[in-house]
Amino acid sequence: MITLDLSADSAATTVADAVVIGIHSSPDEDGPVLAAGAESLDKALDGALAATLRQLGASGSASEVTKLATLGATTAPVVLAVGLGGEPADGEPIDQDTLRRAAGVAVRALKGNERVALGLPLGDLDAVRGVLEGALLGGYEFIAYKTPSANGRKEPVSQLTLLVGDALDKADKALKSEVKRAQTVAEAVRRTRDWVNTPGNYMRPPSLADAMRDAVAGSGAKVEVLDDAALRKAGFGGILAVGDGSDAPARMVRITYSPRGAKKHVALVGKGITFDTGGISIKPVAGMGKMKSDMAGAAAIVNTIIAAATLKVKVKITAYAPLAENMLSGASYRPGDVVTMYGGKTVEIINTDAEGRMVLGDAIARAAEDDPDYLIETSTLTGGQVVALGNQTSGVWGSEDLRSRVVEAGGRVGEAMWPMPLPDDVRHGMDSPIADLSQTNHSGERAGHMLQGGAFLAEYVPEGLPWAHIDIAGPSYHSGGAYGHIVGGGTGVPVRTILDLLDDIAENG
């Protein structure tokens, strides 16, 4: 993790290899306008900072970066100006996600510098959260399997200093709490990214379960791991149907966090397919390598409960991570099979590549036995999510009120969510002539494929239990170039959304 400290120094006097300031675009000016926090630098440069940036081509558009050398005029030898877009209306704060993305871009652009000072506008604690989360996440790199380069490699920024100036009191408890929260949340997201990015041969069900057990240690939560023998004894037929095709046996990780004074109990469930070949209904080779990320839901919920326990969120949480590897062998489950799930429901298998709902059906049924007040599940469930909503917006199903709260939480933290329906006709298409239900549409109809996944999971949620299913098939893994605080590979979605929702439940029930 990047180390983080606070300083009341100005941008002109801070000791750092580079200092970051913000600039706005302005329709009334021929070039950028300096944002709050840049005043001391402008003074040290004889009032020429904005003009110099203009000559370098800076416009102040969102996430644009411009570097300039201070040539000894300030303590830091390099200034990086990052665009914040247009100036907000008088009295209005800068959007938190704008700051988050700007800080992420800036820190990434300063790779090769050890210590960076952040002189971005800090009007309130929301701004602090945005800047710190962006800075801590935007500089992330996954290099666990890279050997040292003969020409060397620019290392990511390792030390960050947040310049609070006169805007905030460096000794304020609320500020210190916000800093601790940002570090804890960033650690949870970065660990989620690490697990998602780890190749499938290094992260099979037993090793992922071990990594989860190790990560929980010291957080205040308790962990239990069910091996394949325990799963078989308890009747987890869905997890075993998927996992028995692999020589790396399935696991179920159960984590509990029970703080004093908690008035609500939330169950978290996440899909943990450590690699997905599709099984007998094998996937095409194009894109299969990304199926190491099919455990992103499990990674997210485990790191969410670790962060919640570390931050002492006043909500009781029970998390379930069903882990399996969907492989081909003589023991693989087949289309046409009937599987008895945990709790006794029978499922006719139509497509072995719809394996996520099998492990999740078991885990949801088990989680419901803990009598939670809310149940939240997240998974890379369907390719249909990407077709319908693209790579940056998650689909959300479930009880109307909780579904809305999830969408609102995603909006607050900058993780886009969109509410989706559960139509009766989609569920009726999953009626089976030989089992309680089919795993997908019985005739193989692809229409509403994403909705079929939600309809299947709904079968395992007891009536009256508020629940939400978050499909992160696209948003959990980014294959393109970096933007904002998002880099290539695992993104950590939806850790921050669920944490924000847990805070909301702790405060409002």
Reply yes or no: is the peptide bond before residue 494 cis, omega within 30 of 0.
Answer: yes
Question: Could you tell me if 462 and 364 are in contact, meaning their C-beta atoms sit under 8 angstroms apart?
Answer: no
CB-based contacts of 226-235 (< 8 A; 24+ apart in sequence): 226/251, 226/252, 226/253, 226/254, 227/251, 234/342, 235/340, 235/342, 235/343
Cα–Cα distance between 436 and 120 in angstroms, integer? 58
Q: Considering the chain, what is the average pLDDT of its residues?
A: 96
**Per-residue confidence at 153, pLDDT binned at 50, 70, 90?**
confident
Q: Is the pLDDT of residue 96 over 70?
A: yes
Least confident window among 25-29, 214-218, 245-249, 455-459: 25-29
Least confident window among 85-99, 239-253, 490-504: 85-99
Task: Indicate which residues carry an active-site annotation.
Answer: 283, 357
**How many other C-beta atoms can be found within 10 angstroms of the C-beta atom of residue 78?**
17
Residues in contact with 41: Cβ distance below 8 Å, sequence separation at least 6, in sequence order? 10, 11, 12, 19, 21, 49, 70, 74, 79, 119
**What's residue 446's pLDDT?**
87
pLDDT digits (tens, 9 = 90+) for 332-355: 999 999 999 999 999 999 999 999
Q: Is the pLDDT of residue 152 over 90?
A: no
Q: Report CA-CA distances (Å) from 475 to 116, 294, 397.
A: 29, 12, 16
Question: Could you tell me if 208 and 275 are in contact, meaning their C-beta atoms sit under 8 angstroms apart?
Answer: no
**Per-residue confidence at 235, pLDDT binned at 50, 70, 90?**
very high
**What's residue 77's pLDDT?**
97
Q: What backbone torsions phi and psi does residue 59 show, to the nearest 5 degrees?
A: -120, -20
Q: Report CA-CA distances (Å) from 250 to 213, 243, 321, 370, 472.
A: 15, 5, 11, 22, 22
Q: Which of 275, 223, 227 is nearest to 250 (CA)?
A: 227
β-strand partners of 161: 5, 117
Q: What backbone torsions phi and psi does residue 301 show, to the nearest 5 degrees?
A: -70, -35
The tally of CA atoms less than 13 A away on the side-chain side of residue 421 is 6
pLDDT digits (tens, 9 = 90+) for 296-343: 999 999 999 999 999 999 999 999 999 999 999 999 999 999 999 999
**What's residue 236's pLDDT?**
98
pLDDT digits (tens, 9 = 90+) for 468-494: 999 999 999 999 999 999 999 999 999
Mean pLDDT across 383-410: 97
At position 378, the amino acid (one-letter code) is T
User: Given CA atoms 108, 111, 113, 115 in this order, what sign does their dihedral have?
Assistant: positive
Place of tokens 């062998």: 329
Query: What angle do helix axes 296-310 and 205-216 make, rounded to 10 degrees?
Result: 10
Question: pTM of the prediction?
Answer: 0.97
Mean pLDDT across 239-245: 98
Counting beta carbons within 10 angstroms of the beta carbon of residue 283, is it exposed (0 to 12), middle (13 to 18) or buried (19 or more)? middle
β-strand partners of 83: 23
Q: Is the pLDDT of residue 171 over 90?
A: no
**Which helix (H) or strand (E) covers residue 161, if one does?**
strand 159-163
**What's residue 27's pLDDT?**
82
Question: Could you tell me if 77 and 67 are in contact, meaning their C-beta atoms sit under 8 angstroms apart?
Answer: no
Q: Is the pLDDT of residue 457 over 80?
A: yes
Which two structure tokens, joined as six digits, stand for 424?
């009766």
**What's residue 91's pLDDT?**
78
Q: Is the pLDDT of residue 273 over 80?
A: yes
pLDDT digits (tens, 9 = 90+) for 195-211: 999 999 999 999 999 99
**What's residue 498's pLDDT?**
98
Which two structure tokens, joined as six digits, stand for 38?
């840049």
pLDDT digits (tens, 9 = 90+) for 40-54: 999 999 999 999 999
**How many other C-beta atoms can be found within 10 angstroms of the C-beta atom of residue 280?**
18
**Per-residue confidence at 150, pLDDT binned at 50, 70, 90?**
low
Mean pLDDT across 176-193: 96
Which two structure tokens, joined as six digits, stand for 85?
């877009």
**What's residue 1's pLDDT?**
73
| In the chain, % of residues over pLDDT 90 | 93
Q: Is the pLDDT of residue 98 over 90?
A: yes
Strand 374-379 versus strand 3-7 pairing type: unpaired
**What's residue 486's pLDDT?**
97
Q: Report CA-CA distances (Å) from 128 to 100, 452, 483.
A: 9, 41, 20
